[in-house]
Chains A and B, each alone.
Chain A
């Protein structure tokens, strides 16, 4: 009876090792602190009404960024533990982590950074910026937006739950490759946490991808043809196309692994005809486009940043669009370069090697266009521009390493070495992360109403850049020297100084991140001096700068008529000064229809979390309840007729006059 209700869960699965106790303890302390603060300030109701149940993409975007920052912190902690271990564990010393634990750490580090930190930051920025830039008020499907966010949170929670229940995460690497992830070699709950956490958050991402796709194609302001869209919106569109194309592959591959583990099937087992190589084929069919999903929005952010801070329209808009589109298409044709060494043979490897090399071409076009935009522009060297310059150096460097790896012959030497690790971190940190920082510093004044402290921001940038090179150049060198990835211990003493240099780099990066936190704190303190009163602190070019800072919850009182690219720049040159038309007697306001808040997204995600947890522990009764809960909630939602409300024209006029 106990087994039927509690499945595999026993008292022994509660924390009893130092790191699970530590992890559980810190989670509990943070939750308690938040609860105390909310109670003391009497803000529970405010939190629920203004934020948690909101369907406003501006609010959802900020929640995504906050959650992503939390998960980034956790992922960075994992990175620190890896670095520390590797700098200590040479020759006769064995560091402080045992191999099994070390394997769980690098697995968790990868999953958290890719799925929860980076995807979270980017989805947040998309939510904040895309509707404003296309002159819309909301996304196409506000309910799916909030649902997608809460599914993301549910996945993040589930990924951290092993601290409290079970004490083990997958020890398989971030993609849980078969047959290591099969029951035979991973009998514990670790891989199951991995499975359900990613299925749930993956569904959230897929919904977000569909949402942005429909929004961008169907909800642009009148006059905004595709070729007048800001480049950030183009990159959001291409990213969404990739999401909708490849996330189903991730879902079904994880599902097949789940069927193997739960129902004893044989897709990827090493017996009864299973084919583990098929897992690797399918998972990378998703995995490669995923990294392009992570970088494309960044390309868009940089297009905006470079043109704004060069006070010049982007050079080669058409080639930017074509380049982004080509990257999107080619991204779907290169996945085998992740397993050149698995043995597909020369002709298959050659095809994919060439297609991988081809991707460098449209990428190069983008880079040259950015540089051409800067040429003969009046450059303002504000923080976002620093991040762009850091990106140009770093990403190009890492990209060249990628072209090196794209040759199968070279890859046979460097596959799964630290050279590879350095390459992809250069792309994700130097590329995606720097673009996220650029985006956040660029658009911070728009959403918070005041600018960030520039001086501290510059310090933070330099610390990150220097720290990054200190951390990862040694890894490139180590890769050439033969060091493979995921080593918890090595015997060659000449490697140790390089690992230690890398640790110093990590410490510099941590200083940079702390500096960013200081920047936020100081900026909040100085907010009155740095208030953005015009809504256009950078002399921007696109429509988001046409609103106040922060924008009203309905974005635009009157949907703008777009007449060209860089729509706001064009509006500004048409009207001598004000960036918003205010309170002039001849403006005709109209009723606006907006979506209501809803808690249904939270409920569905809550049931999904419950279901996922129950499945991990084989608690079939609870799993059934969770699944039924999801279905019932969704059906109830479809019967809900009153999901919108009307903001009358008079009310709009009143709110506009107040700004």
Chain B
């Protein structure tokens, strides 16, 4: 769907069309100043200090929760038999899903020539990295013995002749997520290099000069540098594209290859991927709206960006809704009493509240996004994006808990109640995420400076 700059420019002149991706009246220098000043200023805004303090406090909650976990073991959590997978997997899937929007924005939208990705790709990619870091916490700590994670998950030749079960998606997940993390990091860093060089050249402080100088790897902006850069960036985009699908597909297989009703369903891979992008875009919106307000970036992250992201959210939300409807239909069509009971139990069982809240958050509320007024109403959109974030968390809760707590034999049914330590770990990863994000905003350019410069009409080269 290549809507390129030409169309954008035409849009501007048309009644009832979207605003541009960059407000008029900027030149190269002003763009550079505006973005790099956020980083190079000596004054740290009080709102940053306050936000960082809160985030860092939450991060310390994570440290406390994990320390106690390592001391006591997973008994401090609410997991039991039959619900052996509780918050750890719910939060893992939620965080990994959030990361997907960053990759989609940076890779797929680049390949589709979508110019509106430019101002949001940098922090969306950073969001991906931090979300992957939060997600990775859970496989590491979920046994209560992190030193065993490497021992059980990574295949290495050993004298016992023991290997992980290669037919298990859990082991595929180790590779999928670590590949995803690595490629995302390289992609993000490659995109940063020209901007790091800009910061190096503009920095006054000796330490900053040294830091950005090292990080920019000797970038001088020669034609050859740019040529190699463009090639590398395009190739990395190509490499990242399959990862948007593969990571959450493997996550969905973690569930679907089992024979638990509610997990074993062939729709899971596309349904999980759509859900991941859905929650990811919700998170990008949740972050973009306060950031652009705090740093006065409305000229760069325009209403058009919010409008487009809201559209993607609506589309993926509808696919998720299709998934719920399909599950309900096949609960009947399968003519399988366990499948039918699973759907009934979700809607009317002991966890019915979570199911109906999930429908409200994920299916009903986002229908407001059909209206352009809502999509361009900043506060309304912010609230909807928060609701979708909650809804997608509830979705994972419903999938994990309601499927496990009552499967085939009623004598083995049980209930799951998360403990305060479950909540503390979850809250703590939110702290980790926000802390990293605050640091990122303070020390790195949150918007790609040189890509913004390329959006200006002055940079159009006549062939």
A binds B: no
A residues with a Cβ closer than 8 A to B are none
B residues with a Cβ closer than 8 A to A are none
